[in-house]
Amino acid sequence: MSGPIGAVAPRETRKETMARARARAALIPDLLVEAHRVANNVFAGWHGRRKRGVGEDFWQFRHYVTGENLAAIDWRRSARDDNIYVRDREWQATHMVWLWVDESPSMLFRSQFAVVAKQSRALVLAFAMAELLARSGERLGWLGLTRPMLSRRAADHLGQSLMLAPPQTRLPGPEGIRNFCDIVLFSDFLGPREETLSRLQAYARAGARGHLVQIVDPVEETFPYAGRIEFRDPETGERLTAGSAQGLKNDYAALFAAHIASVRAMARSIGWSHTLHHTDKPASQALVALHVHLSQDVWRQHQ
């Protein structure tokens, strides 16, 4: 069976790349349907990312705070009782969010305990996030693939663009990244750590805030194997036969825990967030965690 921890992948032949692209393209319509379903389930608790600002639309009345501009007071509302009220307007500046899903061969791994492969779950999460953010009026783009767009059907447009593109196995460069935008990356982050960190630091230097969503199959942590078993690296094809898999459990568990800690440390080193998501858990869990992180970023931006 395929082993959990991959290595640096050799260069794929054009035939192999095209085969993976066709397989991915065939899945995208169903993944978009699932993403819309997940987004609809989460949307009931999705409070949007509106903030008080300089727009024209009314948002709320609130009590006047000593020292504020007197011109902001709504005297008609204040005349109704003994309190002084300020009319807040909604912030209307459009925010930019870039999405990206790792399509390395290791992301195709799926154990018998998982609902879907890691890549399928990552794409559903990305499309569902696009759907929710589009409803909030955000501009969206797929890193290294599309231009920013402002559309209520952004998830479908991104899916269509992805169907025509080859698999993306390496993080794109920072071209097009602007200050205060958000980047959400979905991956198992099993590629070379230094290469990944270098890319993340380039995004951060460009002024982006980011969120790493680490996708993990449950067996990658629990290692529920025993007896004689053959593991195959999904990246290199290299094989390892273990006479007693149980004897590897403790060392492997420590190694994988260190990998998760390393990804979390990378995120924290540049002020980004880290969310660990298992493919045997509901996709909505990761979306809720992302919503919290993204909302905190917008709050900080408008202070």
- Dump pLDDT digits (tens) for 187-210: 999 999 999 999 999 999 999 999
C-alpha 127/C-alpha 262 separation (Å) is 27
Residue found under tokens 């709320």: 60
Taking alpha carbons only, the member of 296, 254, 251 closest to residue 275 is 296
Tokens of residue 215, six digits: 């996708």
Q: Where are the alpha helices (DSSP H) in the chain?
A: 14-43, 75-78, 118-135, 154-163, 193-205, 218-222, 249-269, 283-301
Distance CA 188, CA 277 (A): 10
Query: Has residue 228 got a pLDDT over 90?
Result: no
For residue 290, is pLDDT > 80?
A: yes
Question: For residue 62, what are its two tokens?
Answer: 């609130």
What pTM was estimated for this model as a whole?
A: 0.79
Please give the residue that has the higher pLDDT: either 106 or 47: 106
What pLDDT was estimated at residue 247?
A: 80
CA-based nearest residue to 116, from 276, 255, 277, 287: 277
Provide the pLDDT for residue 277: 97
Question: Residues 224, 227, 229, 233: is their CA dihedral positive or negative?
Answer: positive
pLDDT at 297 over 60: no
Other CB atoms within a 10 A radius of the CB of residue 49 amount to 20
**Residue 129 region by backbone torsions, left for phi larger than 0, else alpha for psi between -120 and 50, else beta:** alpha
Architecture of domain 14-49+93-301: 3-Layer(aba) Sandwich (3.40)
Q: Which amino acid is at 72?
A: A
Q: What are the residue ranges spanned by the domains of the chain?
A: 14-49+93-301, 58-89
Q: For residues 197 and 109, is the Cβ–Cβ distance under 8 A?
A: no
Region 287-303: mean pLDDT is 68
Amino acid at site 57: D
| Strand-pair partners of 2 | 232
